[in-house]
């Protein structure tokens, strides 16, 4: 296939094109970026988040998903968060969803600016989304962006080994000591 002007494609066209590529691509705010591999720490934190969310949600109607599924916004943004939670039934053959309740992004030096600007705006446009967690890979800190009746609010971060991310939307809590267990950090 020749050069494709991915930024000019409709959402359906972009999803069709991206599904046929050997690499993964995100499209956020009209900007298309190829996804790169992460670090050992980034991957470890992402995996722990999935395990801890999954164990706490077991038996309920909500499920945690990893970075193999795309999250699509009403604006046509296509993102691969490190983890997300959605509730209710879904098509097991789906390659993307548009109804996450919680999204988790593990930050990295190479993507933090993009994640905290363009992706932040894209996530805010998803009606079902209630909370976005920005997980720092080098220290025990999780920043939270939560939808309130009055709009989106940046909340106080959870920090340190005693820190806890409280998610009343799911009826669970995530201790940072469990998310970061076994991950070497700068502050250690």
For the cut 60, the answer to whether the pLDDT of residue 6 exceeds it is no
Helices (H), 10-161: 11-19, 40-57, 112-114, 120-124
Give residue limits of the domains in the chain.
38-179
Compute the distance between CA of residue 28 and CA of residue 99 in angstroms, rounded to an integer.
17
For the cut 90, the answer to whether the pLDDT of residue 38 exceeds it is no
What's 38-179's CATH class?
alpha beta
Each residue's pLDDT tens digit, 93-140: 999 999 999 999 999 877 777 788 889 999 999 999 999 999 998 899
For the cut 60, the answer to whether the pLDDT of residue 187 exceeds it is no
Each residue's pLDDT tens digit, 145-167: 999 999 999 999 999 999 999 99
* Average confidence (pLDDT) over 34-43: 83
pLDDT classification of 2: cutoffs 50, 70, 90: very low
C-alpha separations of 149 from 94, 153, 160 in Å: 31, 10, 29
> Which helix (H) or strand (E) element contains residue 186?
none
Tell me what the pLDDT averaged over the chain comes to.
Answer: 90
For the cut 50, the answer to whether the pLDDT of residue 3 exceeds it is no
The percent of residues in the chain predicted with pLDDT above 90, rounded, is: 71
Compute the distance between CA of residue 82 and CA of residue 68 in angstroms, rounded to an integer.
9
Global confidence as pTM: 0.91
Three-state DSSP class for residue 38: coil
């Amino acid at each position: 296939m020749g050069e494709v002007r991915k930024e000019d494609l409709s959402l359906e066209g972009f999803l069709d094109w991206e599904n046929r590529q050997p690499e993964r691509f995100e499209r956020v705010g009209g900007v298309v970026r190829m996804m790169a591999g992460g670090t050992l720490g980034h991957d470890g934190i992402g995996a722990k988040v999935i395990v801890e969310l999954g164990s706490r949600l077991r038996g309920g109607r909500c499920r945690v998903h990893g970075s193999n599924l795309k999250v699509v916004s009403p604006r046509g943004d296509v993102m691969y968060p490190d983890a997300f939670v959605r509730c209710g039934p879904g098509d097991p053959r789906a390659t993307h969803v548009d109804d996450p309740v919680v999204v988790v992004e593990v930050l990295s030096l190479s993507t933090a600016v993009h994640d905290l600007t363009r992706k932040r705006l894209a996530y805010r446009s998803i009606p079902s989304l209630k909370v976005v967690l920005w997980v720092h890979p080098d220290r025990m800190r999780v920043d939270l962006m939560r939808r309130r009746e009055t709009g989106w609010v940046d909340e106080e971060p959870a920090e340190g080994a005693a820190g806890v991310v409280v998610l009343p939307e799911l009826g669970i809590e995530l201790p940072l000591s469990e998310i970061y267990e076994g991950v070497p950090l700068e502050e250690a």
